[in-house]
A and B are shown apart, each in its own frame.
Chain A
Amino acid sequence: MDKYILGKYVPYNTIIHRLDPRMKILGMIMLVVSVFLSYGSWTTMFVLSGINAASIFTLMLISKVRLRDLLYQLRSLWILILLLMIINIFVPPVGSIHVIAESGNFKLYAESFLQSGKIILRLLEMFGIAMILTASTTPQELTYGFSFFMRPLKKIKFPAEEVAMTVSIALRFIPTLLEETNRIYKAQSSRGIDFKKGNIKEKFKGIIALIIPLFVSSLSMSDDLAFALEARGYNPKANRTQYRQLHWKVNDTIAIILVILYMSMFITFTAMNFDFMKQSFPFIW
Chain B
Amino acid sequence: MQIKFNHVFFTYNADSPFKVEALKDINLELSENNITAIVGRTGSGKSTLTELINKLLTPTSGEVHINNLVNAPKVKIKGKAIKEFRKEIGFLFQFSENQLFEDTVLKDVMFGVQSFYPKNKNPEALAKQALTLVGLDESFYNRSPFDLSGGEKKKVAIAGVLAYQPKLLILDEPTAGLDVKGKKEIMDLFKKIHESGVAIILVTHDMDVVLDYADKMIIIDDGQIQKIGAPKDILQEDVEKYNLETPNIYQVIHLLKANGKNISSNVNDIPSLIKELKHHG
Contact = CB atoms under 8 A, between A and B. Distances in A.
Contact of A186 (B93, B101, B146): B93
Contacts of A10: 17
A187 B99 contact: yes
Given A187-B91, A190-B86, A208-B101, A11 B17 contact: yes
Contacts of B95: 183, 217
Given A186-B51, A192-B83, A213 B15 contact: no
Given A183-B95, A186-B93, A209 B160 contact: no
Contacts of A4: 16
Interface in A1-45: 1-2, 4, 10-12
B116 A217 contact: no
A216 interface: yes
Contacts of A161: none
B116 A192 contact: yes
B98 A217 contact: yes
Given A2-B15, A184-B98, A190 B87 contact: no
Interface in B1-34: 12-18
Interface in A155-202: 183-184, 186-194, 196-198, 202
Contacts, number: 74
A94 interface: no
Nearest to B111: A191
Contacts of B14: 2
Interface in B60-93: 77, 79-80, 82-83, 86-87, 89-91, 93
A212 interface: yes
B56 A186 contact: yes
Contacts of B164: 192
A196 B55 CA distance: 13
A202 B112 CA distance: 12
Nearest to A11: B17
A149 to B, nearest CB: 31
B243 interface: no
Interface string B135-147: 0000000000010
B12 A191 contact: no
Nearest to B16: A2
Contacts of A191: 99, 111-112, 115, 160-161
24 contacts: A1-B13, A11-B17, A183-B93, A183-B95, A188-B99, A190-B54, A191-B99, A191-B112, A192-B83, A192-B111, A192-B112, A192-B114, A192-B115, A192-B116, A202-B115, A205-B115, A208-B101, A209-B99, A209-B101, A213-B99, A216-B98, A216-B146, A217-B95, A217-B98
Interface of A: 1-2, 4, 10-12, 183-184, 186-194, 196-198, 202, 205, 208-209, 212-213, 216-217
Return the 8 tightest CB-CB contacts between A and B, nearest first. A192-B115, A190-B91, A212-B101, A187-B99, A192-B116, A2-B13, A191-B112, A187-B93
Given A184-B98, A189-B86, A213-B100, 9 more contacts: A186-B51, A189-B56, A190-B54, A191-B161, A192-B83, A192-B164, A193-B115, A194-B80, A212-B101
